[in-house]
Amino acid sequence: MTTGYLWHTLYGWNDTGSGSLAPADPAAGLQPVSYHFAHADNKRRMHELVQVIGLGDKVRNIPARPATRDEILRVHTAEHHDRIVEESALPKGGDAGDGISPFGKGGYEIAALAAGGAIAMVDAVCNGTVDNGFALVNPCGHHAVRETGMGFCVFNNIAVAAKHAREVLGVERIAIVDWDVHHGNGTQAIFWEDPNVLTISLHQDRFFPTDQGFTTERGGGAGVNTNLNVPLPPGTGDGGYLLAVDSVVLPALRAYQPDLILVACGFDPSILDPLSHTMVSAEGFGAMTQRLVDIAAELCSGKLVMVQEGGYSIHYVAVCGATSIAVLAGEQPMADPFLPLVENMYGRREVEDHQARICKIASELVPDIPGR
């Protein structure tokens, strides 16, 4: 099995400014800080760890390329695209659209490269260059809706790649599994009425955005019953996440029978993430990855593409990501150097009743998913 791997140096140059969750503003008492939560170093460090542990020698590098305007417009409005282009040319750049998602001068070019990187990996998997792949792109994308970016996302990278797979490569049915700790609201909205794309989001309940991501959101029009949400309670760890994968995600994929599986892969459900309250370990991410590798082999000749989303622990993102990439490539993951330090805080390996309850509610919706 050959695994593709994609990184571009410019992903590590994405400028998120001097704020944390809001721009620095002395009048409001907001001091500048060295690191925005979505600072590019979170992902750059993952890439460097992949190289240092020798994993980079076990994968095939796939070159990134920028998405074109037409490719982005398959998902986003011209107004959104063109505003990003205009603000990107300003001396200090602009914002993706919600006031807390800054990008520096030249940010458009990096965002287009992120969307194009997702496309490049989908091309590589679908044309047989590699069996599966991991696109370590930056900035992330799954919150971006058609008309605006939000939540640190400029363009919806995984949606742009899915549209490319459908309209250019002729892939008939696509499933997107989103395990970022925040709801994949943008991807849900973009494919709400599309029966050819199944969207599944595992996320912390009522976290971001707070007003959506519920099990009652099922898709609409021709796409009814092709959207599935699993809003997990705070404190859910490896056991609860694996139960959600086993009882909801895998049965949903078997019901839908996709030709390609995409994963919106955030490492912000981790135990050390500063923006979440779930408790997943690197080992847990590896176990989820293995299950998706196995189901892809069963359903769609192994065609699986993981596209990087969020992850805000400067310490732990790299370890979680390297673990998932190793599993994807069929290699032995590195030992988690942080687990001995956090075992006293990490008591969520077993499933608890309130976690199992939401998995049961979501699993009861699986029979409604339309098959072939």
Catalytic site positions: 143
Q: Token match 């140096």: residue?
A: 9
Q: Token match 């998602």: residue?
A: 101
Q: Which two tokens stand for residue 86?
A: 């205009």
Give me the torsion for CA of 252, 118, 214, 148, rounded to 10°: -150
DSSP labels for 246-314? IIIIHHHHHHH--SEEEEEE--TTBTT-TT---BB-HHHHHHHHHHHHHHHHHHSTT-EEEEE-----T
CB proximity list for 284: less than 8 A, separation 6 or greater: 237, 238, 241, 242
Angstrom distance (rounded) from CA 295 to CA 252: 11
Q: Token match 């992850």: residue?
A: 311
Angstrom distance (rounded) from CA 272 to CA 36: 16
CB proximity list for 334: less than 8 A, separation 6 or greater: 53, 319, 322, 323, 326
Positive or negative, the Cα torsion across 323, 256, 298, 118? negative
Q: State the helix-helix crossing angle for 107-126 and 78-88, rounded to 10 degrees.
A: 130
Q: Are strands 94-95 and 102-103 parallel, antiparallel or unpaired?
A: antiparallel
Angstrom distance (rounded) from CA 313 to CA 65: 27
Tell me if residue 232 falls in helix, strand or coil: strand
Q: Which two tokens stand for residue 332?
A: 């032995």
Angstrom distance (rounded) from CA 278 to CA 235: 5
Q: Are strands 304-308 and 260-265 parallel, antiparallel or unpaired?
A: parallel
Taking phi over 0 as left and psi of -120 to 50 as alpha, with beta for the rest, 311 belongs to: left
